[in-house]
Amino acid sequence: MSDQRIDQSKRTWLIASSCAGVVGGFATTVPLVNTMMPSERARAAGAPVEVDISNLQPGEKLTVEWRGKPVWIVRRTPEQLASLKAIEPQLVDPNSVRDQYPTPSYAKNPARAIKPEFFVAIGVCTHLGCSPGDKFKVGPQPSLPDDWQGGFLCPCHGSTFDLAGRVFKNKPAPDNLEVPPHMYLSDTRLLIGDDKAA
């Protein structure tokens, strides 16, 4: 037998301190790595948002958040689409040619949309940043004209927008609602925040 006997207490101490070192190193590394990664909120603030529109029925609106703003997706009925042309003389910029809020080229049409049935817009009034409310019902209503064809009413100062987000004349809002960059990934999937094909 060897004269070199290992003290059992030293062996226990060596094993325990090695384990503590590994755990301590891991506990230090994880928070350090996490601080280098953007938070969920930061990623959501600028990242494109994918939306399932398969359950959106004609005449309904879906709201999602992109870059901290509400984005509306409205599935218009055939009657709502037909009303867009008739009200053009009442609008400030029916063809979306003004450039205060640039409109993507694919939305420079009477429906302001890639697919006429679906309207996508940032739900923030171009006057002072309030969020307009839905006024899809046709006909006379408080704060709306008697020949109202449906659209949006800003509760702050009374600006009105049609179902393509185009602002009516003689209202405080200077421009149409902004259309964000977007594209269809499929018939039921919409990507908001990016319109460049990969």
pLDDT at 118 (0 to 100):
96
pLDDT at 69 (0 to 100):
93
Q: 161 and 96 in contact (C-beta within 8 Å)?
A: no
pLDDT tens digit string along 58-116?
A: 999 999 999 999 999 999 999 999 999 999 999 998 888 877 777 899 999 989 999 99
Nearest to 158, CA basis, from 148, 173, 146:
173
b/e for 131-167, b at 16 or more Cβ within 10 A? bbebbbeeeeeeebeeebbbbbbbeeeebbbbbbbbb
- Mean pLDDT over 149-172 rounds to 93
Q: Where are the domains of the chain?
A: 44-192
Domain 44-192 in CATH 1.10.357.10? The answer is no
Which residues, in sequence order, are bridge partners of residue 134? 152
b/e for 45-72, b at 16 or more Cβ within 10 A? eeebbebebeebeeeeebebebeeeebb
Amino acid at 154: C
Which residues, in sequence order, are bridge partners of residue 152? 134, 161
Nearest to 112, CA basis, from 63, 194, 186, 180:
180
- Mean pLDDT over 144-166 rounds to 92
pTM (two decimals) = 0.74
Residue 145 binned pLDDT confidence (cut-offs 50, 70, 90): confident
Task: Report in angstroms the alpha-carbon separations of 70 from 40, 67, 124, 188.
Answer: 18, 8, 7, 20
- Mean pLDDT over 40-52 rounds to 73
pLDDT at 83 (0 to 100):
92
Residue 31 binned pLDDT confidence (cut-offs 50, 70, 90): low
Segment of 37-41, 113-117, 133-137 carrying the highest mean pLDDT? 113-117
pLDDT at 187 (0 to 100):
93
- Mean pLDDT over 40-44 rounds to 54
Count of residues making up the chain = 198
Question: Is the pLDDT assigned to residue 117 strictly greater than 80?
Answer: yes
Can you tell me the distance from the alpha carbon of 48 to that of 8, in angstroms, rounded to the nearest whole number? 60
- Mean pLDDT over 19-33 rounds to 66
Those residues with Cβ within 8 angstroms of residue 72's Cβ, 6 or more apart along the chain or in another chain: 61, 62, 63, 119, 120, 121, 122, 123
Segment of 32-36, 57-61, 138-142, 194-198 carrying the highest mean pLDDT? 57-61
Question: Is the pLDDT assigned to residue 178 strictly greater than 50?
Answer: yes
* 3 state SS of 117: coil
